[in-house]
């Protein structure tokens, strides 16, 4: 293990993924260069693109490369992947969301509470399966997001998010006194069930993470504050929320404010 890999911090799975990416796509190329510069970094990004790596993987690699060069040589290099290379955000429209939830309530009652919780909170899959009943505050209508199933949250911070009436009713029906320290949801193959639901409902196929994207885009389209949406999603900066989702909304500029 290189010294750089030893300095990686975060959730175990995240560190493992970053270390593997570093060994395969960065270390062999950097070792052959005496002093990596910005031009080298851009050529390396082009190499990744030439290997048909997914845009999301390229962005992760670019961030790892920036950390490595800054840690190794003290250089701070700003790396940008063009907007054309950004991953497409897969999210349902309002009509697709309504149709899918209606079909799920009829055809897959076990999956329905997880679907509603994901759509109504925008939490990540790991956070969803990390919920304990003690995190649910029925009196205040709040949910504490304090952990992922495999460890801490992505940014290592906890947050409190509002709970819709529909979600509160679903959870209250499943709650039993004395189970505060037990998991709210049992583990299941949510991507398989969601794929089946998409076929039954006749809506676009999206991964389970697409429910988080759906929450964000629908919230922004409804005019909700980007700052509040960012806080609910657990993004460190509101710019992350806007960069990911604003281009996916259908909002057009209303010029009625002009004199």
Beta-ladder partners of 183: 132
pLDDT in tens, 119-134: 999 999 999 999 999 9
| pLDDT at residue 46, as a whole number | 81
| pLDDT at residue 17, as a whole number | 86
User: Which residues, given as ranges, of the chain have pLDDT below 70?
Assistant: 1, 71-88, 250-259
The distance in angstroms from the start CA to the end CA of the chain is 64
| pLDDT at residue 134, as a whole number | 95
Annotate the chain with DSSP letters as a single string.
--HHHHT--S-HHHHHHHHHHHHHHTHHHHTT-SS--HHHHHHHHHHHHHTT--HHHHHHHHHHHHHHHHHHH---------GGGSPPP----HHHHHHHHHHHHHH-TTTHHHHHHHHHH---HHHHTT-BGGGEETTTTEEEE--BTTBS-TTS--EEEE--HHHHHHHHHH--TT-TTSBSS----HHHHHHHHHHHHT-----THHHHHHHHHHHHHTT--HHHHHHHHT-SSHHHHHHHHGGGS-----GGG--
| pLDDT at residue 79, as a whole number | 61
Distance CA 22, CA 29 (A): 10
Q: Let me know: does 25 contact 18? Beta carbons within 8 Å.
A: no
Tokens 């031009």 label which residue?
39
pTM to 2 decimals? 0.70
Q: What angle do CA 204, 161, 187 make, to 5 degrees?
A: 55
Tokens of 15: 């560190």
| pLDDT at residue 84, as a whole number | 44
| pLDDT at residue 245, as a whole number | 83
pLDDT in tens, 187-244: 999 999 999 999 999 999 999 999 999 999 999 999 899 999 999 999 988 888 888 8
Distance CA 257, CA 254 (A): 7
Q: Measure the CA dihedral 229/233/235/238, to 10°.
A: -10
The domain defined by 94-248 folds into hpI Integrase; Chain A (1.10.443)
């Amino acid at each position: 293990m290189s010294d750089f890999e030893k300095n990686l911090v975060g959730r175990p799975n995240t560190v493992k993924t970053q270390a593997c990416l570093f060994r395969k796509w960065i270390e062999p190329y950097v070792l052959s260069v005496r002093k990596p510069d910005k031009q080298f970094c851009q050529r390396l990004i082009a190499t990744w693109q030439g290997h048909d790596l997914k845009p999301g993987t390229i962005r992760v690699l670019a961030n790892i490369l920036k950390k490595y060069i800054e840690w190794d040589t003290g250089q701070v290099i700003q790396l940008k992947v063009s907007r054309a290379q950004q991953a497409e955000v897969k999210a349902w429209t309002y009509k697709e969301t309504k149709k899918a939830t209606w079909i799920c309530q009829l055809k897959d009652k076990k999956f329905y509470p997880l679907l509603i919780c994901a759509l109504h909170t925008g939490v990540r899959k790991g956070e969803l399966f990390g919920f304990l009943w003690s995190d649910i505050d029925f009196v205040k209508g709040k949910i504490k997001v304090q952990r992922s199933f495999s460890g801490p949250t992505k940014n290592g911070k906890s947050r409190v998010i509002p709970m819709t009436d529909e979600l509160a009713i679903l959870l209250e029906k499943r709650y039993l006194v004395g189970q505060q320290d037990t998991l709210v949801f049992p583990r299941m193959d949510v991507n398989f069930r969601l794929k089946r639901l998409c076929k039954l409902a006749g809506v676009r196929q999206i991964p389970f993470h697409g429910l988080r994207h759906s929450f964000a885009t629908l919230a922004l389209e409804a005019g909700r504050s980007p700052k509040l949406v960012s806080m609910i999603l657990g993004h460190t900066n509101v710019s992350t929320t806007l960069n990911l989702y604003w281009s996916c909304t259908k909002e057009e500029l209303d010029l009625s404010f002009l004199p």
